[in-house]
Amino acid sequence: MATERGFAGKRLPMTLAFAVLLVAAFGAGCKNFFQDPTLSSVAIQPPSPQVEVGQSTTLQAWGTYSDNSRKQIKSGVVWTSSDSTVISIDQNTGQITGQGSGGTATITASAQGLSGTATGTSFLGSITGLTVCSGAYDTGTCPAATWSISSSSSATNDYYARALDKSSNKIDVTTVATFAVTPTPTTGSIQCDNTSSPAVCTLAQGTTPGNYLLTVSYPNVSPVTASIVVSP
């Protein structure tokens, strides 16, 4: 009996020691097996930020990771603006401020060798009297006359967006406004490029005949329209 008790007394510590070694080995393996997910892409929220000239707002950088999880990146982000005369940005916090008379700029958030971009717009908060005109700035027809064209060939037409500031001064807001043509043609296209003033709207040859509407909008102002008539 004494021998059995002695053997049992020694067996428990040996079993415990084996269990400790097993846990240690498993833990070491887990360190290599369960690795933290890596960043796979960066996105900016909101994706199309707008900020009034003289005002500020803070953007956020969000990351998508290798395990498909998504969360805000709160440190290690570097922010830049393609045009600080339009939108300036704090490179550490992501706070943007509207500058000048408004416009658009590309905002970039970079982290861990990856980057995401967004198109930011700064606008004048005191704008009134928005008008869409045809031709070159302040020498064209205001409001724009109906653009009547044939779908048998391609064609272009110039438009600009004019507004009044708080002192009733005329301002060219073409590059800050949004130009959209509706409805979408079944065939062909009518597309407007307002990256410079005047905006150039292009009708593709073979575009479906019909009545279309060019809508020009500006933040915090009622949109304005111009008619486009495409004949066979």
What is the spatial distance between Cα 47 and Cα 202, in angstroms, rounded to a whole number? 27
Q: Which residues pair with 225 in a beta bridge?
A: 215
Report the Cα–Cα distance between both ends of the chain, in Å, rounded. Answer: 111
State if pTM tops 0.85: no
Percentage helix, strand, coil for the chain under 3-state DSSP, each rounded to 5: 15, 50, 40
Tens digit of each residue's pLDDT, the chain (232 residues): 444 454 444 454 655 555 555 555 455 454 445 688 999 999 999 999 999 999 999 999 999 999 999 999 999 999 999 999 999 999 999 999 999 888 899 999 999 999 999 999 999 988 999 999 999 999 999 999 999 999 999 999 999 999 998 889 999 999 999 999 999 999 999 999 999 999 999 999 999 999 999 999 998 899 999 999 999 9
